[in-house]
Amino acid sequence: MRQLKFQARVGIFLLLLPAAACRKSDSSTTGTAPTANSPAAAQPPAPTAPPPPFSAAQKIGMFAYPKNNQSNDQQLRDEYDCYTTVQQQTGINPDAPRPSGPSGADVQAAQQQAAANAPQAQGGRARGAARGAVGGAVVGGIAGDAGKGAAIGATVGTVRGGRQQRQANEASKQQAAESAGAQVQQQANQAQAAYGQQMDTFKRGFSACMDARGYSVK
């Protein structure tokens, strides 16, 4: 009787042994397999781009000071990011050369062109001769020789009319030249003022961007 009980127990043990081995194998396999959240399945971090070799803040005449202990490399990256962002948003190119005032050669060329195109009076000598002849005839009539007085008056009137015409034409040329020179200077001043306004706008945008990233910009 005891022998039968012992054999039964041994048989039950032998039946359970393969199942236990399978559970152990499954547990071992499950424990070592990488999951989506395990370190083995995680992607390596992307390499950090090198910082630009220049300070974008100093490029536009500004200085940035980190308020959160940012490294120098990080500051250079932030400056460059803000620089390109503001440039894209405003369409302003800070790299464009600043407009300069007109050179003396430019002003002189504009004045010469304007003087050459200035309106010129015509017929001054003929009008002067006619007026002189009329006046001379009156004077000559009083003296007893109207014809001679008319001839003399016409000659004098021609000279006077020609002189007045030349003076009027010179004054017209001078006025046109002065107006052209002033216009050239005014255009240069307007270009410089527009450039200054654009740079002020760009600097305000840059300062706001850097302030949002934890910098004090002056």
Structure tokens at 65: 């000071």
Q: Is residue 171 part of a domain?
A: yes
Q: How far is it, in rounded angstroms, from Cα 154 to Cα 150?
A: 6
Range of the domain at 139: 104-199
Number of domains the chain contains: 1
SS3 call for 217: strand
Query: What is the average pLDDT score of the chain?
Result: 73
Supply 215's token pair.
């910098």
CB atoms within 10 A of CB 80: 18
Secondary structure element (H or E) that encloses residue 37, with its range:
none
Asked whether residue 4 is assigned to any structural domain, the reply reads no
Residue 51 per-residue DSSP state: P
The predicted model gives 144-156 an average pLDDT of 55
79 burial (CB, 10 Å; 0-12 / 13-18 / 19+) is: buried
End-to-end CA distance of the chain: 102
Over residues 104-115, the mean pLDDT reads 75
Per-residue pLDDT tens over the stretch 193-202: 999 999 999 9
Contact of 132 with 158, CB cutoff 8 Å: yes
The answer as to whether 99 is a domain residue is no
CB 152 within 8 A of CB 140: yes
In sequence order, what are the residues at sequence separation of 6 or more whose Cβ sits closer than 8 angstroms to the Cβ of residue 60?
Answer: 83, 94, 199, 202, 203, 206
Percent of the chain that is helix, strand, coil (3-state, to 5): 70, 5, 25
Per-residue pLDDT of 69-96, as tens digits, reads 999 999 999 999 999 999 999 999 999 8
Residue 41 lies in a domain: no
- Identify whether 153 is part of a domain: yes
Instruction: Tell me, yes or no, whether 125 lies in a domain.
Output: yes
pLDDT at 90: 94
Q: Decide if pLDDT at 64 tops 50.
A: yes
**Whole-angstrom Cα distance, residue 205 to residue 38?**
43
Instruction: Judge whether 166 lies within some domain.
Output: yes
Mean per-residue pLDDT for 95-106? 79
**pLDDT of 210 strictly over 90:** yes
Give the residue ranges of DSSP H helices in 72-123: 72-90, 104-116
Is the model more confident about 217 or about 10?
217
pLDDT tens, residue by residue, 7-54:
555 455 445 555 544 454 444 444 455 555 555 556 666 667 788 999
Instruction: Classify 101 in phi/psi space as left (phi over 0), alpha (psi -120 to 50) or beta.
Output: beta
- Rounded CA-CA distance 186/195 in Å is 14
pTM value is: 0.54
Q: Is 3 inside any structural domain?
A: no
